[in-house]
């Protein structure tokens, strides 16, 4: 049965929607980690709160509540400084698994109103406006409904700033223009005037280094950047990202979509009582085991492994080691041991105690794309062969299943564990990646 012809009113409405410049809604949760802690613990509500990775005055806040920000405390503020600025401030250890759980509840609520187009981080998502949602009054009403839904479903402490604009770049910029609880709309016809009062560092992707490069090229304001020619932008950025950045600023084009996994990394700040060499070595070893489990769960092998160490006098050491493509914990641990010995030989007696350790795996390739000979026969272990590697693969698979099944870390483990048994073995939240539930058991 053919569809009925569109009425003149319907055609006119569709033309109006298409003519609107508004395409994206960007939602940024305010003081996310601290807000979750306040929502879960009524005693913290309305009070200055910081969230920290470990209990130590020498570490820094990874989140600060809206009330703490009034005192000039923000992400990166050392704990000792936060205590000086706000005596009696509440200090809470991070619970990354809870923040991920809360994140999924938030996305589920947003999806009730409009599908989530892209998850940018644990506390930022964008949504594509469609049809009548592109009209300014409808987009604003939609924003109010999302806010009300978050408040009713998850609680009053869940607050967000929303930006609405022609692309995700400008929508994110708009979401930053009024915090907390802001709602900012930027239409194409308002450009560039609406953004000219901002400074370069307000733009997403412009940090200290990029700002310095722009200044050295004579770009000191948004107006200068707006007028930049494509060839000059390419020269400043050193790539085609320069012209694309300026186009996004003008509301033309947008970010490219990619979700490719390029690396796996884990790091941990050591509590003061565990900053000796042996504790640091064991924790680094445990991070390597976690990296191997994650490789296997994702179906990758790695071709390169690196470690990094920071001492409490702020000296640092880092190096990497080329692997034969592997997801074998024995190979990973052997590489970490080799690099650790290299570090000890090069640094001698450290000038400070161990403050932080980390490891990374790069050169990731899907396991199915690696031939059996390469995958099993040249792992870097003495007298290794494909048959031995295959047996170990079965061992890792069995261990991974047991650790996931019993809902605890290290039900089955390799060798000694660090004396420090905090939740460092659980997943940590990166700026642009949300850990899977399984990671908290690896």
What is the rounded distance in angstroms from the CA atom of residue 380 to the CA atom of residue 72?
51
pTM (predicted TM-score): 0.67
348: left (phi over 0), alpha (psi -120 to 50) or beta: left
- Please tell me the CATH code under which domain 264-441 is placed: 3.30.1490.100
Q: pLDDT by residue (tens digit) across 160-189?
A: 999 999 999 999 999 999 999 999 999 999
The chain-wide mean pLDDT, for the chain, equals 84
Q: Is the pLDDT of residue 329 over 80?
A: yes
What count of other Cβ atoms lies within 10 Å of the Cβ of residue 181? 12
- For the chain, the straight-line distance linking the first and the last C-alpha, in angstroms and rounded, comes to 56
Rounding to the nearest 10 degrees, give the CA dihedral for residues 433, 64, 154, 96.
Answer: 40
What are the tokens at 250? 């003008």
Q: Is the pLDDT of residue 293 over 80?
A: yes
Of the two residues 72 and 375, the one the predictor is more confident about is 72
Q: Is the peptide bond before 240 cis (omega within 30 degrees of 0)?
A: no
**pLDDT score for 328:** 87
Asked if 359 and 314 count as a contact pair (C-beta separation under 8 A), the reply is no
Average of per-residue pLDDT across 131-159: 96
Helix (H) or strand (E) holding 217: none
**pLDDT score for 376:** 40
**pLDDT score for 269:** 85
**pLDDT score for 373:** 40
What is the rounded distance in angstroms from the CA atom of residue 266 to the CA atom of residue 104?
22
Annotation marks residue 124 as catalytic: yes
Q: Is the pLDDT of residue 384 over 60?
A: no
Of the two residues 423 and 113, the one the predictor is more confident about is 113
- Give the CATH class of 191-259: mainly alpha
What are the tokens at 166? 């022609």
Q: Which residues of 116-149 are buried (b: 16+ CB within 10 A; e: fewer)?
A: ebebbbbbbbbbebeeebbbeebbeebbeebbeb
**pLDDT score for 53:** 85
Q: Tell me how far CA of residue 207 lies from CA of 190, 334, 380, 438, in angstroms.
A: 25, 38, 41, 34
Q: Tell me how far CA of residue 5 lies from CA of 2, 11, 15, 51, in angstroms.
A: 9, 10, 16, 59
Q: Tell me how far CA of residue 360 lies from CA of 129, 287, 322, 356, 429, in angstroms.
A: 38, 9, 12, 14, 15
**pLDDT score for 142:** 97
Domain 15-189, second-level architecture:
2-Layer Sandwich (3.30)
Domain ranges of the chain: 15-189, 191-259, 264-441
Of the two residues 2 and 139, the one the predictor is more confident about is 139
Helix (H) or strand (E) holding 147: helix 136-154
Question: Of the residues 124, 267, 439, 442, which is catalytic?
Answer: 124
Q: Is the pLDDT of residue 372 over 80?
A: no
Average of per-residue pLDDT across 192-197: 96
Q: Is the pLDDT of residue 441 over 60?
A: no
Mean pLDDT is lowest, of 210-219, 345-354, 397-406, for: 397-406
**pLDDT score for 383:** 42
What count of other Cβ atoms lies within 10 Å of the Cβ of residue 379? 22
Q: Is the pLDDT of residue 419 over 90?
A: no
**pLDDT score for 20:** 77
In this prediction, what percent of the chain has a pLDDT beyond 90?
51
**pLDDT score for 364:** 83
What are the tokens at 273? 């009582």
């Amino acid at each position: 049965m053919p569809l009925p012809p569109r009425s003149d009113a319907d055609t006119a409405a569709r033309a109006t929607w298409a003519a609107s410049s508004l395409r994206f809604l960007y939602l940024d949760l305010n003081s996310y980690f601290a807000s979750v802690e306040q929502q879960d613990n009524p005693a913290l509500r309305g009070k200055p709160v910081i969230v920290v990775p470990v209990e130590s005055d020498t570490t820094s806040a990874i989140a600060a509540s809206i009330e703490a920000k009034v005192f000039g405390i923000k992400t990166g503020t050392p704990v000792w400084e936060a205590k000086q600025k706000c005596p009696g401030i509440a200090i809470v250890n991070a619970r990354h698994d809870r923040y991920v759980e809360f994140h999924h509840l938030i996305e589920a609520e947003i999806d009730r109103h409009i599908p989530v187009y892209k998850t940018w981080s644990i506390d930022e998502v964008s949504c594509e406006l469609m049809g009548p949602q592109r009209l300014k009054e409808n987009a604003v009403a939609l924003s109010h409904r999302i806010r009300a839904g978050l408040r009713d479903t998850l609680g009053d402490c869940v607050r967000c700033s929303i930006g609405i604009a022609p692309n995700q770049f400008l929508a994110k910029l708009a979401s930053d223009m009024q915090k907390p609880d802001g709602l900012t709309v930027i239409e194409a016809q308002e450009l560039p005037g609406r953004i000219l009062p901002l400074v370069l560092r307000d733009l997403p992707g412009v940090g200290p280094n990029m700002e310095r490069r722009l200044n050295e090229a004579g770009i000191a304001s948004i107006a200068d950047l707006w007028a930049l020619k494509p060839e000059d932008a390419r020269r400043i950025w050193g790539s085609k990202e320069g012209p694309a950045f300026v186009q996004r600023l003008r509301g033309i084009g947008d970010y490219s979509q990619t979700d490719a996994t390029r690396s796996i990394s884990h790091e941990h700040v050591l509590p003061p009582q565990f900053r000796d060499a042996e504790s640091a070595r064991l924790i680094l070893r445990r991070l390597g085991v976690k990296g191997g489990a994650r490789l296997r769960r994702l179906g990758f092998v790695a071709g390169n492994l690196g470690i990094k160490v920071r001492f409490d006098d702020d000296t640092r050491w880092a190096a990497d080691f080329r692997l034969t493509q592997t997801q074998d914990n024995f190979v990973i641990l052997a590489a970490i041991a080799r690099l650790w010995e290299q570090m000890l030989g090069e640094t001698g007696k450290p000038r400070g105690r161990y403050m932080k350790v980390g490891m990374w795996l790069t050169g990731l390739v899907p396991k199915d794309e690696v031939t059996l000979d390469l995958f099993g026969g040249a792992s870097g272990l003495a007298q290794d062969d494909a048959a031995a590697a295959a047996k170990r693969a079965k061992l890792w698979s069995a261990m991974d299943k047991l650790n996931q099944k019993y809902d605890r870390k290290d039900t089955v483990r390799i060798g000694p564990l660090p004396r420090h048994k905090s939740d460092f073995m659980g997943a940590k939240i990166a700026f642009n990646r949300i850990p899977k539930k399984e990671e908290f058991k690896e």
